[in-house]
Structure 1
Amino acid sequence: MGEACVRSRARQVALVVAGALVCAALPSAAAAEAPVQPYGANDAGGFRNVLPSGENGFDNATQLAEFELTGTNPPHFADQLPPYADLLYASPTLTHAQIPEYFKDATFGVKEGDLASIESPRADVTIERDSSFGVPHIYGRTRAGVMFGAGYAAAEDRLFFMDVLRHAGRAELSSFAGGAEGNRAMDRTQWSIAPYTEADLQSQIDDAPKLYGGAGEQAVEDGKEFVAGINAYINAALLDPNLLPAEYAGLGRQPTEWKLTDVIAEASLEGGVFGKGGGAEVRSALALEAFEKRFGRRAGRAAWKNFREANDPEAPTTVSKSFPYETAAPFAPAGLALPDPGSLTFVNIGEELKASAALRPRSSSSGGGEVTDTPDPQPIPNDGSIGSELLHQALAGPPHESNWELVNASHSTDEHSLAVMGPQVGYYTPQLLMEEDLHGPGIDARGAAAPGLNTYVQLGHGRDYAWSITSAEADTVDTFAEVLCEDDFHYLYKAQCLAMERLEHTNIWTPNASDKTPAGSEKLTVYRTVHGIVYARGTVKGKKVAFASARATYFHEADSATGFSELNEPGFITSPEKFQQAVSKINFGFNFAYVDANHIAYYLSGWYPKKAPKTSPDFPILGTGEYDWQGFNPQLRTEEVLAFKAHPNAIDPDFLVSWNNKQAPRFAAADDRYAYGPIYRMQLIRNFIEKDIAGGKRMGIEQLVSAMEEAATQDIRMVVLWPILKQVLGTPSDPRLQDAIAKLESWYADGGHRRDLTNKNIASPGTYQHNDAITIVDAWWPKLLEAEFRPALGNEVFDAVRSMLRFGPPNPGSPPAEPDFSDGWYGYVSKDLRDLLAASGSGATPEGAYSRIYCGNGSLEACRGELQNSLLEALSATPAEIYGNGACAEDAQASCFDMNRWISASAITVPPFPFQNRPTFQQVVELTKTLSR
């Protein structure tokens, strides 16, 4: 390592500062090789952020013992949680002067007097940490030094969690952490999504220069230096127990050397959860089958399209301009491969995986799975393992609290653009993101990145611009029906009978202090075709087929590095147009936001394959070769994708909002997205912004923060649906219903918030204002949906729709979970009831009216009676029945049920905090100038 100063993480802050003085005494030649920039150098100012619970995710044996004895956290482990949580109480009257109380300074560098430590793990890199929050500020004399430092700092802050993620990415979490059913289920899921041999992982590295030339070569070199930094810390930790995460002892393990293929494996885990959409063609076909069985072919298909909502004209969108994509009819005949009724089975990739559970809503009889209506392919064990927690995220898709909101300079009080933005990656301890400040040749950026993948800042700011994302969930995954030949493991492709590739992986586990599961093993097996991984089998028109999942990013999870590298490069990002060019090179599907002092911009990233002409975007397509993606190369697994200008994008509209909503009119929702109807929660934020700029008014950054935070506690059912529901309910004579309606109306008038502004103890749930009304709605919602839709749809169709789209949280009787109010039947209720009111002469016909009215089979009187009865039934439910499970067994109320709870990958735990539906890492950007390059 040459001359270096490695800080001991066991020391108290005072000792670390003293160590900094020793480091400062290194020979001047070494210091000159990795110069440190002063605070604010090359930074326009105006950047703030917050990342709960804190930057540090490390605890050694001494610190863990102290935590267990006194409850004292290691430094910077949870110091960003209080400002994050406390914004809830300040939001209604937030002032500009208060913003620093809730979002820390994110300027480049360390302020004078705020230096906690300095180290030089290699001669060409220096890492400073600030005493305020422990953020690593990394300065490289060379680009290689910056990359090395990023890897070293990541290992300092997240080594054990990175190890969890790399093993999960390789589908060997159970071998690493123990054989708990949750870990094994996570392995099965990962092996079904991204099964790779070591040679497969290496091929992604080897192919980068072939596909991307010099940029690909640079990405590989950056990755190698990054891994060298991780390994340098591991080597130091193996020699000094104070540097070793305590969690390893619980598993009876020590960290082992990283390889660049480990980074690719972790990227495959991230890519399988975030940045993808689609792939539910077989499930959609099963839903269609139920509709046709109930209503007949013609009426059934029309009714299915009602609930599919691929292009609802009322759907809220980020941009108003139309961007047509996947315009072919769902029943386009070319290559259509609908499974024959009753023929479908789902593959069993693990020895104990029950394929019969696939596509069925979880129930109390699902072998330990939680009671919920989410359409997961298999029950998720609730055994407290890290695997079960990761699996919830993997199967539910990206967390849905990510949002960003941008306001044009012409509408701001200081005549400069405004932004509040961030991704939601769940609440993990340690956090699934880490913060870093990177400076060196071709790199000037500060922000957040996934540890183990943090070669570059992935979400943050450059010198005078900032960017962020929300998950787009646009269609990057299709299903091909491989026609079998010879036997079940050969298929026809371009007139040849090809053998499927068998991919096997065996996990072996033994008991450890953290997981007492008896020793055992499990073999995981999948079959791969030229298109992808086989996940189901059946027949199409009597012929045996295997259904294979084709993901555009499969074998290309690391390709996005070139785009992220450009986002960090000050010489490249000089305008919103250059920003759009950079993010267009990112193959994951993200809604990218951009802001500088004078501009705001948006671009949808991702590889969206050009499908064969006149083929269905909704259902499986024959995989015999005639209907491949255009330009498909089976060797490189590449294809033609949507052109740059065809991606939804915008520069300098009045404002922009994304909260995982539909991107643009006519940009069809992915086949697994049944939720893009007339109601989506981005309307909550949009409503506040429109009010604040109406009539020529201008808004400040404090108002934009409040727009986000006020929406973060609103219940969309009350804010958007209640006026419609109230009209249909009418004026009941039953005094119990009259009282309930009065309570609901009072809650609606107060904004429909789920919060307690009087309880300032973030460790306590308090009791919500309008608690009775909230309890009523939570009990009523599933009963309302049953009453409105099940009689007309019948049991089979109702359950089929529910398998594609959950009702929407909260879920009475389930374990506590914070509600995101993202995907749910909100739009179905709105459209159907407005159709009903229009038919009865009580309202206008909505755009995109359904093919039939479901509530009351079209009778307002019948529907009114059904909804009143369902509300009356809900009033008999007790709080214990609704909320009294798990952590809320002794505090059965909505405020306990909703709390944001932490997923722990650490021996250090953090208590839950009151509900907020907002990003995890969040930036507040208020720029007033641009800098010359």
Structure 2
Amino acid sequence: MGSSPAFAAGARAGDGAAVSAAEDPCGSQCRDILPAGQNGHASLVEILLHKAVGTRPKHSADQLAPYDKLLHEYSGLSDEKLSDYFNDASFGVPEDQVESVKKPRADVTITRDKATGTPHIKGTTRSGTEFGAGYAAGQDRLWLIDVLRHVGRGELSSFAGGAEGNRQLEQSLWATAPYTEDDLQRQVERIRGSGERGAQAYQDIQDYVSGINAFIDDTVGALNYPGEYVLTGHGSKIKDFTATDVVAIASVIGAIFGNGGGGEVGNALAKLAFEKQYGKAGGEKAYTAWRAQNDTGATTTAHGKEFPYAQSPRNPRGVATPESGSVTAFDHSQNEEGTGSAAKKKPGKGDGVKSKGVLPGDLITSKKGMSNALLVSGKHTASGNPVAVFGPQTGYYSPQIMMVQELDGPGLRSRGASFPGLSFYVELGRGLDYSWSATSASQDITDTFAVDLCEESGAEPTTESQSYMLRGKCTPFEKLSKHNEWKPTLADGTKAGSYDVVSLRSAYGLVSHTGKVDGKPVAFTALRSTYHHDADSVIGFQKFNDPSAITSARSFQRAAQDIGYTFNWFYADTHHTAYYNSGDNPVRSKNTDPDQPIRADKSYEWKDWDAEANTSAVTPPAEHPQSVDQGYFVNWNNKQARGYSAGWANGPVHRGDLLDSRVAALVKDGSVTRAKLVQAMEEAAAVDLRAEKVLPELLDVIGSSEVTDPELADTVKQLRDWKESGSQRREAAKDDGKYEHAEAARVLDAWWPLLVEGQFKPALGDELYKSLTSLAPINESPSGGQNGGGDSGGGVGASQPHKGSSLQTGWWSFVQKDLRSVQGEDVGSPLDRPYCGGGSLEKCRTMLLTTLSEAAATPAEKTYPGDDECEPGDQVCADSIVHRAMGGITVPRIAWQNRPTYQQVVEFPARR
């Protein structure tokens, strides 16, 4: 459809007024949802009432029920019924839907709607609009914004208590993005000096923090003062926010969602373990096969075209291989005094938990399964307009770690989700006549360098030395340290204590490990291309919110090029869809290996690298995976494109396949609608990836001969019935308390770690098996258990229960490829040898039946041992999603479903 004056970028409704469906290019076809709810604010009285009688502040959990019930009702979905499960994301608020109106200053109005309490911020000036965005952020997330700025400064335990989770989180941030106040200020000034848009972004941030501070002034001493401050002993003391707080928060969000690479030391140790097990030549061959940087069977988001990046060269230069047994991880926790936990297990529940923090301790370190996207080109839809269902899968919290708002002011027209403390722009949402979203891409932008250690005195260096060689000179590491002290906290059982969070910084990045290379002591340092540049991406986000900047799919891709974080960006308007992979991908020295540690020498550095500014040449936009108007796009953190190096275990079985197969089928049938695309997403959200994609191969091997044991034959039949019925982990009806194929799901949960170990450990050996499982967790089940050996078998973060996002990391590709090889099938990118049964189909089958029998006999209480939420053996509860309380208000559990936490459903029938 053509343009209309009614859709002009400058068209505005009155204060708080809705833009009519005729004026809004989305025509009431834009919807979104943010569980549990928009409101993350609670006074002390509201928190105490919640704990005493279960009441909750308005809009703190009102989006939970519609989000949850889609799982049980999606099969009958129609476009007309989408309103039962998603909120209206049209611009403005109809007069009869206005809940409240606030004018924090004369040039801005914050209108909240009755349905969700979302702030619709309309400014007559740009400064007023940004001021209003800050004020609204304070209203909805002040406590959480304060928590995040303390995380970003390595000061969380001093602020929120010495719970183990708080200390773990600030240490992991300090390992990734430690900054001094001068570092933070330099990032602010860099924004300010980045041309006209940078100067505008600087002013936007100043106005935004002024709005937050105005809310603080209004709430201190008032009845609506956030109760968390009182409960944590802060009273009415809230320090004013500054622009450097915004950078500190950006460093946290970037470390969680926009990072990639940096695992080279672990890769090197795994390669050494392969060589120890199979010899030099055999070990190298095996490592390359298992590493599978470019597995030919992997589903890619960009179809067809190859985008080579970060592949290991045939004959690498400058590799710094650590000596086996010499490597020690750097300890970021020092001088601990009086720390500890007095947490006790609850009667009748599980084994208790270590003292929790206000945020998960592994929020940064755990493998992220963030977000998914499904887009279909207009040539395959019923309307002829593109359709998109997409959103970030940022975890389940109360209050949510994202918040929704509408911005309407000069140069700003958007509605969608933003991170608290960064909501001066909408980061994921809709513009005037387009919508966009992102998934974490995690391509490799972090390299590990080995710096030679030295002593300034000239003495013989050791791995404890505090200086390193830089351009021929012995140079002290810069020690970045924060001293944290905290008082006893009855809520989590911690004692009073203190400690220092410490990082060592070199020109080549942050020290992650020490060890020896060729007999000499070295420090291994992680150099991230976006370090010291966490706030630079603000320019791209500014453009996303500017209707004059985003006028086409191509202009959106150009805006995404200004974002240094590693994200896959998706776009839809009335005519076009687009995809672009962002990130500051460094141009590496020729024939250096990004998969292994590199010697810290000028000849191996990134092209045009400036150590002081940490800038270098980056790959040009044309070399980033991208496409416009491809028939369809799907991404669930899977491989971006052929030739684009992927992480461990990204092969022919990936949860992205669950989306790809379903959307491809819709496109083949044609006439795709919003409802059909939502159904594809939700069906995939309920599927057990192992059951749909790997169980068929397991059953084929077992079915190569008759199963004579009656009980085992019945177990096999149950597994086959589950697979043929759709492989879902879903109750027959909401709150039924039991899965439709409960026994089959229980058996597979218990079987998976047993069969993986039985399939691979005999040939890999204990040491190599342990090394591989530390890099590529064998399992990420919905319940968070069954990892096959704790941290060594589950990998960091793989055992986290009740998190929702599941089935991204696991050995499903390894298992599937090996079983196909054992059956004599052609396998693209095969492993180095057949493993199951030593390559014997009969012995492989025997192992599978033996481990299956063991799994079938395993009590549910062992498979689902129970915890503070669930009784032992309760399968549905073990899988269920628990919104982690980050404030004083909790919300009910919901059924497991593997889907975004903020999600849009969009189709634009018109343009501006």
Could you report, residue by residue, the CA deviation over 1:888-928 in whole angstroms, capped at 9, with x for unpaired residues?
A: 65251321111011111111110110011000000000211
- Determine the C-alpha separation between the residues in 2 that align with 1:631 and 1:782: 47
Q: Structure 1 pair 43/143, CA: closer, same or farther in 2 (3 Å)?
A: farther
For residue 66 of structure 1, give the secondary structure of its aligned residue in structure 2: helix
| 1:63 equivalent among 46, 52, 61 | 46
- Determine the C-alpha separation between the residues in 2 that align with 1:597 and 1:386: 45
- 1:454-603 alignment to 2 at 5 Å? 454-486=423-455, 487=461, 488-512=465-489, 514-603=491-580
For residue 497 of structure 1, give the secondary structure of its aligned residue in structure 2: strand
2:320/2:517 contact within 8 Å kept: yes
| 1:417 equivalent among 386, 390, 412 | 386
- 1:179-328 alignment to 2 at 5 Å? 179-210=162-193, 212-240=194-222, 242-253=223-234, 254-326=237-309, 328=311
Could you report, residue by residue, the CA deviation over 1:432-490 in whole angstroms, capped at 9, with x for unpaired residues?
A: 00001001110000000001111100000001100001111111111011112334222
| 2:58 equivalent among 47, 51, 75 | 75
User: Partner of 1:90 in structure 2?
Assistant: 73
Establish whether residue 106 from structure 1 lines up as the match of residue 89 from structure 2. Answer: yes
Q: Structure 1 pair 224/288, CA: closer, same or farther in 2 (3 Å)?
A: same
1:502/1:528 contact within 8 Å kept: yes
| 1:721 equivalent among 685, 694, 705 | 694
Quote the offset at 1:328 in angstroms.
4.8
Moved over 4 A (4+): 32-37, 366-370
- Determine the C-alpha separation between the residues in 1 that align with 2:527 and 2:138: 34
User: Partner of 1:50 in structure 2?
Assistant: 33
User: Partner of 1:437 in structure 2?
Assistant: 406
Establish whether residue 820 from structure 1 lines up as the match of residue 806 from structure 2. Answer: yes
Equivalent AA in structure 2 for residue 383 of structure 1: K
For residue 421 of structure 1, give the secondary structure of its aligned residue in structure 2: strand
- Determine the C-alpha separation between the residues in 1 that align with 2:570 and 2:622: 16
Equivalent AA in structure 1 for residue 755 of structure 2: L
Equivalent AA in structure 2 for residue 859 of structure 1: S
Establish whether residue 701 from structure 1 lines up as the match of residue 674 from structure 2. Answer: yes
- Determine the C-alpha separation between the residues in 2 that align with 1:643 and 1:137: 38
| 2:645 equivalent among 638, 653, 668 | 668
Q: Structure 1 pair 887/515, CA: closer, same or farther in 2 (3 Å)?
A: closer
Establish whether residue 152 from structure 1 lines up as the match of residue 135 from structure 2. Answer: yes
Quote the offset at 1:537 in angstroms.
0.7
Establish whether residue 648 from structure 1 lines up as the match of residue 615 from structure 2. Answer: no
For residue 113 of structure 1, give the secondary structure of its aligned residue in structure 2: helix
User: Partner of 1:710 in structure 2?
Assistant: 683
- Determine the C-alpha separation between the residues in 1 that align with 2:169 and 2:447: 22
For residue 915 of structure 1, give the secondary structure of its aligned residue in structure 2: coil
Quote the offset at 1:848 in angstroms.
1.4
- Determine the C-alpha separation between the residues in 2 that align with 1:533 and 1:368: 34
Could you report, residue by residue, the CA deviation over 1:834-854 in whole angstroms, capped at 9, with x for unpaired residues?
A: 11111xxxxx31111222111
User: Partner of 1:851 in structure 2?
Assistant: 832
Quote the offset at 1:819 in angstroms.
5.9
- Determine the C-alpha separation between the residues in 2 that align with 1:252 and 1:327: 49
User: Partner of 1:680 in structure 2?
Assistant: 654
User: Partner of 2:3 in structure 1?
Assistant: none
Establish whether residue 831 from structure 1 lines up as the match of residue 817 from structure 2. Answer: yes
Q: Structure 1 pair 542/335, CA: closer, same or farther in 2 (3 Å)?
A: same
Equivalent AA in structure 2 for residue 311 of structure 1: N
- Determine the C-alpha separation between the residues in 1 that align with 2:301 and 2:559: 20
Q: Structure 1 pair 195/331, CA: closer, same or farther in 2 (3 Å)?
A: farther
- Determine the C-alpha separation between the residues in 1 that align with 2:874 and 2:352: 25
Could you report, residue by residue, the CA deviation over 1:691-746 in whole angstroms, capped at 9, with x for unpaired residues?
A: 2232x532211110000000000001111112111111123222222111100111
- Determine the C-alpha separation between the residues in 2 that align with 1:320 and 1:367: 54
For residue 626 of structure 1, give the secondary structure of its aligned residue in structure 2: helix
User: Partner of 1:771 in structure 2?
Assistant: 742
Q: Structure 1 pair 513/856, CA: closer, same or farther in 2 (3 Å)?
A: closer
Instruction: Give 5+ residue unaligned stretches, structure 1.
Output: 1-31, 355-365, 371-379, 839-843
Could you report, residue by residue, the CA deviation over 1:778-822 in whole angstroms, capped at 9, with x for unpaired residues?
A: 010000101100111111111111000111122238674346111
User: Partner of 1:3 in structure 2?
Assistant: none
User: Partner of 2:147 in structure 1?
Assistant: 164
* Count of paired positions: 863
Establish whether residue 329 from structure 1 lines up as the match of residue 312 from structure 2. Answer: yes
Quote the offset at 1:690 in angstroms.
2.0
Q: Structure 1 pair 162/920, CA: closer, same or farther in 2 (3 Å)?
A: same
2:393/2:805 contact within 8 Å kept: no
Q: Which moved more, 1:507-516 or 1:617-626?
A: 507-516
For residue 666 of structure 1, give the secondary structure of its aligned residue in structure 2: strand
| 1:805 equivalent among 776, 790, 794 | 776
Quote the offset at 1:752 in angstroms.
0.2
| 2:329 equivalent among 336, 341, 346 | 346
Equivalent AA in structure 1 for residue 416 of structure 2: G
Establish whether residue 907 from structure 1 lines up as the match of residue 888 from structure 2. Answer: yes
For residue 324 of structure 1, give the secondary structure of its aligned residue in structure 2: strand
- Determine the C-alpha separation between the residues in 2 that align with 1:405 and 1:333: 38
Establish whether residue 894 from structure 1 lines up as the match of residue 878 from structure 2. Answer: no
For residue 888 of structure 2, give the secondary structure of its aligned residue in structure 1: coil
- Determine the C-alpha separation between the residues in 1 that align with 2:342 and 2:135: 42
- Determine the C-alpha separation between the residues in 1 that align with 2:342 and 2:508: 33
| 1:790 equivalent among 761, 765, 773 | 761
- Determine the C-alpha separation between the residues in 2 that align with 1:498 and 1:883: 53
- Determine the C-alpha separation between the residues in 2 that align with 1:456 and 1:52: 21
- Determine the C-alpha separation between the residues in 1 that align with 2:447 and 2:534: 17
Could you report, residue by residue, the CA deviation over 1:347-371 in whole angstroms, capped at 9, with x for unpaired residues?
A: 12212789xxxxxxxxxxx99999x
2:632/2:667 contact within 8 Å kept: no
TM-score (norm 1): 0.90
| 1:875 equivalent among 852, 856, 859 | 856
Identity, % of aligned positions = 40
2:391/2:438 contact within 8 Å kept: yes
Quote the offset at 1:93 in angstroms.
2.1
Instruction: Give 5+ residue unaligned stretches, structure 2.
Output: 1-11, 346-350, 456-460, 788-798
Quote the offset at 1:341 in angstroms.
1.6
2:17/2:94 contact within 8 Å kept: no
Quote the offset at 1:515 in angstroms.
4.7
User: Partner of 2:751 in structure 1?
Assistant: 780
User: Partner of 1:7 in structure 2?
Assistant: none
| 1:691 equivalent among 665, 688, 691 | 665
- Determine the C-alpha separation between the residues in 2 that align with 1:539 and 1:849: 33
For residue 480 of structure 1, give the secondary structure of its aligned residue in structure 2: strand
- Determine the C-alpha separation between the residues in 1 that align with 2:189 and 2:314: 40
Equivalent AA in structure 2 for residue 820 of structure 1: S
- Determine the C-alpha separation between the residues in 1 that align with 2:316 and 2:871: 57
Quote the offset at 1:311 in angstroms.
0.6
User: Partner of 1:29 in structure 2?
Assistant: none
2:386/2:577 contact within 8 Å kept: yes
2:866/2:872 contact within 8 Å kept: no
Quote the offset at 1:299 in angstroms.
0.6
For residue 594 of structure 2, give the secondary structure of its aligned residue in structure 1: coil
TM-score (norm 2): 0.92
Q: Which moved more, 1:439-448 or 1:174-183?
A: 174-183
What is the RMSD computed on CA atoms of the aligned residues? 2.2
Q: Structure 1 pair 369/860, CA: closer, same or farther in 2 (3 Å)?
A: farther
Q: Structure 1 pair 580/202, CA: closer, same or farther in 2 (3 Å)?
A: same
Equivalent AA in structure 2 for residue 791 of structure 1: P
